[in-house]
């Protein structure tokens, strides 16, 4: 069975975590100075863990998520615990340690259900579905993705969730239903998700010998991949420009330090010579 392609580092997710979680935390308990400091530390740990994860430094990411978890636990901050627990699940899932990933996702889901946050429930059900899909447990994956849709808030973009449901249905060889959900996903999907959607629709139509339609989907997928390559190329150029600017700045600092050092030596030599000449004149 064809496995739906995804682009490393840009894999579609069911929904993004709420950016207002920190604000919620601040209103969920008295904001003493100690709590304010702990919230700040927790936020630093979370951001640092995400950076490690994006750079594929998985061991530091795990360690930092655990630090974040411990900090959140001191405050009994459920959103902080939830974020760190799901983060650990994500890191283990990326490394194909499915059992550990599922364990952390289940813990995160229990917390999300206890605080009745449907956005987090949607995201975590989708996480679990993806793990089962990777394991080839497509029926279980379908149950989980159906739960993700059931608990999804009415005001979020469901394109990524529809994409994963379409992918799972395709793996179950329910091609008509797969086409339906993949088509729904394409309406509001980002460029990365669209590339995978059109690639999958190409594969389905090729297998069904709808070659004319398959070629159209393939052309659209290639257009998406070209756009992604341009984005990546633009990002790489920006990174090179930043690196070059930093190198120039470092060189200027080194030059300035050298100039100061040279000036200081010259000054001392001048003072020394002046003193010697003065003494001799006396």
Classified as helix, coil or strand, 211 is helix
Instruction: Write the pLDDT tens digit of every residue in 146-183.
Output: 999 998 888 888 888 999 999 999 999 999 999 999 98
pLDDT digits (tens, 9 = 90+) for 111-129: 999 999 999 999 999 999 9
2-36 pLDDT tens trace: 333 333 333 334 434 444 554 455 455 555 677 77
Q: How far apart are CA 205 and CA 266, in angstroms?
A: 79
* 207, 179 Cβ separation under 8 angstroms: no
C-alpha dihedral sign at 16, 17, 22, 28 = positive
Q: CA quadruple 226, 230, 235, 237: dihedral positive or negative?
A: positive
Element of type H or E holding 188: none
User: Dihedral (C-alpha) 226, 202, 123, 97: value to the nearest 10 degrees?
Assistant: -90
Q: How many angstroms separate the CA atoms of 225 and 118, rounded? A: 33
> pLDDT, tens digit, for every residue of 218-230?
888 888 888 888 8
Say what the pLDDT of residue 89 is: 96
The pair of three-digit structure tokens given for residue 73, joined into one six-digit string: 């636990």
- At 241, list the tokens: 């420009």
């Amino acid at each position: 069975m064809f496995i739906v392609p995804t682009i490393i580092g840009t894999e579609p997710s069911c929904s993004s975590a709420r950016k207002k979680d920190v604000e919620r935390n601040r209103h969920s308990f008295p904001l003493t100075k100690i709590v304010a400091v702990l919230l700040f530390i927790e936020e630093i740990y979370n951001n640092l863990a995400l950076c490690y994860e994006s750079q594929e430094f998985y061991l530091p990411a795990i360690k930092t998520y655990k630090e974040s978890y411990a900090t959140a636990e001191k405050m009994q901050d459920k959103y902080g615990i939830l974020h760190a627990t799901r983060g650990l699940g994500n890191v283990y899932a990326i490394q194909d340690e499915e059992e550990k990933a599922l364990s952390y996702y289940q813990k995160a889901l229990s917390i999300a259900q206890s605080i009745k946050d449907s956005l987090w429930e949607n995201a975590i059900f989708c996480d679990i579905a993806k793990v089962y899909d990777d394991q080839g447990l497509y029926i279980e994956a379908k149950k989980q993705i159906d739960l993700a849709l059931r608990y999804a808030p009415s005001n979020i973009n469901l394109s990524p969730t529809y994409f994963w449901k379409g992918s799972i249905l395709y793996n179950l060889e329910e091609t008509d239903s797969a086409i339906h959900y993949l088509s729904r996903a394409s309406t509001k999907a980002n460029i990365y998700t669209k590339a995978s959607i059109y690639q999958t629709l190409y594969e389905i139509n090729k297998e069904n010998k709808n070659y004319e339609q398959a070629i159209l989907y393939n052309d659209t997928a290639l257009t998406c991949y070209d756009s992604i390559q341009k984005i990546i190329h633009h990002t790489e150029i920006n990174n090179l420009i930043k690196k070059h600017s930093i190198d120039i700045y470092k060189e200027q600092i080194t030059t300035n330090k050298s100039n100061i050092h040279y000036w200081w030596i010259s000054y001392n030599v001048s003072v020394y010579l002046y003193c010697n000449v003065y003494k001799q004149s006396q």
